[in-house]
Amino acid sequence: MTINPDLQGRSYPAAEVYDVGREKIREFARAVKATHPAHFDLGAAKALGHSDLVAPPTFAIIIAQRADAQLIEDPESGIDFSRVVHADQRFVHHRPIFAGDRLVAELHVDGVRAMGGGAMITTRSEIFALSGEASADGSRESVATATSSILVRGEGQ
Amino acid sequence: MSTASITPVFSELAVGQDLGSRSITVSRQDLVKYAGASGDFNPIHWNEAFATGVGLPGVIAHGMFTMGAAVQLVTDWAGDPAAVVDFQTRFTKPVLVTDTTGTEEPGAVIEVSGAIGALDADAGTVRVDLTVVFAGQKVLMKAQAVVRLA
């Protein structure tokens, strides 16, 4: 199956809200072997001037990969997930992610280029925090931009 | 692993300065933990038969596990995880994690070291370049974290 070149420029709007919980920050921090107390201890986070526990620098991958799943699972994309290799990743934090944040991600397909029998696909998740009980299209603050490239291996690659 | 208690002072830093190194041990259980924490359940990270079936030499670590674990050196040096404002890498080689379940042996050992790659006085930022090696080969390329100092 070939990758649909018309994916380039496609966007997927913000879907479900991701509620950032303290225990999720602690669990993710342990999983990447982080030991900084600002991930675990509210007093330590507040001593650094933060409102709540601080997420590790790669925490946004949880939200970004959920957004990417919309593309990978889109039957029009032609992507076979078992042939996907993560090629590169970048996080730009406009502000840190804290426990209590309610986040949504908008996915943009920035690049699709053929490589051998496969393709390199670059996606960008714009992650926003919703204020209060606002809905997904209400008032929101830009939190992070997560850019990733995946290589979809062609046959024999 | 220790936590830096003193925030680095911009004027005392120099390009090329060594920020130390650390070893990260990885077991199959660590990969299961990362899968659960991140939501990335691709079986190449926990099932030997599946991994070899798609042409890999065995179970490999999530690239995002390696990226996430490597940046702890930067976080601890900066003294505040919120100081990391930009972090990027390319994944160039897999980290093969052997099954050592039931023993004290690690399934893989990743070596991480960091040095100051660039200083931007106007922005008050420091670029830390990470070198991340497994089995004698660099597994991340252009692993760069930008830290904003208070």
pLDDT at B4 over 70: no
pLDDT at B112 over 80: yes
Share of residues in chain A with pLDDT > 90 (%): 70
Q: What's the pLDDT at B3? A: 45
Distance from A119 to chain B by nearest Cα, in Å?
16
Contact present, A105 and A129 (Cβ < 8 Å): no
CATH 3.40.50.300 holds for A5-20+56-152: no
User: Are A96 and B82 an interchain contact pair (Cβ–Cβ within 8 Å)?
Assistant: yes
Q: Is the dihedral of CA A32, A37, A41, A42 positive or negative?
A: negative
C-alpha dist (Å) from residue B134 to A55, A58, B76, B107, B142: 26, 20, 22, 11, 16
DSSP state letter for A98: B
As beta bridge partners, residue A122 has A111, A149
User: Are A48 and B80 an interchain contact pair (Cβ–Cβ within 8 Å)?
Assistant: yes
pLDDT at A30 over 90: yes
Q: What's the pLDDT at A84? A: 86
Question: Per-residue pLDDT averaged across B97-118, rounded?
Answer: 97
Query: Which residues of chain B does A30 touch, with a Cβ-Cβ cutoff of 8 Å?
Result: 33, 37
User: Are A82 and B81 an interchain contact pair (Cβ–Cβ within 8 Å)?
Assistant: no
More confident residue, A52 or A153: A52
The CB-side HSE value for B10 (13 A sphere, CA atoms) comes to 14
User: Are B81 and A91 an interchain contact pair (Cβ–Cβ within 8 Å)?
Assistant: no
Share of residues in chain B with pLDDT > 90 (%): 93
More confident residue, A155 or B63: B63
More confident residue, A116 or B103: B103
Compute the distance between CA of residue A101 and CA of residue A137 in angstroms, rounded to an integer.
Answer: 16
Q: What's the pLDDT at A24? A: 98
Question: Per-residue pLDDT averaged across B83-94, rounded?
Answer: 97
User: Are B38 and A48 an interchain contact pair (Cβ–Cβ within 8 Å)?
Assistant: no
Range with the lowest mean pLDDT among A75-79, A140-144, B77-81, B141-145? A75-79
User: Residue B29 — φ and ψ, nearest 5°?
Assistant: -65, -35
Compute the distance between CA of residue B67 and CA of residue A65 in angstroms, rounded to an integer.
Answer: 15
Question: Is residue A74 very low, low, confident or very high in pLDDT (cuts 50, 70, 90)?
Answer: confident
Question: Is residue B1 very low, low, confident or very high in pLDDT (cuts 50, 70, 90)?
Answer: very low
Contact present, B128 and B147 (Cβ < 8 Å): yes
Question: Per-residue pLDDT averaged across B22-47, rounded?
Answer: 97
Compute the distance between CA of residue B73 and CA of residue A34 in angstroms, rounded to an integer.
Answer: 9
User: Are B91 and A89 an interchain contact pair (Cβ–Cβ within 8 Å)?
Assistant: yes
Q: What's the pLDDT at A132? A: 66
How do the domains of chain A map onto residue ranges?
A: 5-20+56-152
Strand B140-148 to strand B125-134: parallel, antiparallel, or no bridges (unpaired)? antiparallel
List pLDDT tens digits, range B36-47. 999 999 999 999
Query: Which residues of chain A does B63 touch, with a Cβ-Cβ cutoff of 8 Å?
Result: 86, 89
Amino acid making up residue B126: V
Compute the distance between CA of residue B58 and CA of residue A87 in angstroms, rounded to an integer.
Answer: 19
For residues A143, B112, A27 and A131, what is the CA-based torsion angle, rounded to 10 degrees?
-10
Distance of CA A63 to the CA centre of its chain: 4
The CB-side HSE value for A148 (13 A sphere, CA atoms) comes to 29
Query: Which residues of chain A does B76 touch, with a Cβ-Cβ cutoff of 8 Å?
Result: 35-36
Please provide the average confidence, as pLDDT, over all residues in chain B.
94
pLDDT at B141 over 80: yes
Question: Is residue B22 very low, low, confident or very high in pLDDT (cuts 50, 70, 90)?
Answer: very high
Please check whether residue A143 touches B, CB under 8 A: no
Q: Is the dihedral of CA A24, A25, A28, A29 positive or negative?
A: negative
Question: Per-residue pLDDT averaged across A42-55, rounded?
Answer: 97
Place of tokens 């299209």: A137
Query: Which residues of chain A does B53 touch, with a Cβ-Cβ cutoff of 8 Å?
Result: none
B87: left (phi over 0), alpha (psi -120 to 50) or beta: beta
User: Are B82 and A86 an interchain contact pair (Cβ–Cβ within 8 Å)?
Assistant: no
List pLDDT tens digits, range A95-145. 999 999 999 999 999 999 988 888 999 999 999 999 866 555 568 999 999
Question: Per-residue pLDDT averaged across B124-135, rounded?
Answer: 97
Please check whether residue B32 touches A, CB under 8 A: no
Least Cα distance to A101 among A22, A12, A37 occurs for: A22
Question: Is residue B96 very low, low, confident or very high in pLDDT (cuts 50, 70, 90)?
Answer: very high
pLDDT at A86 over 80: yes
In a mutational test of the B interface, the residue from A22, A26, A36, A39 whose CB has the highest number of chain B CBs within 10 Å is A36
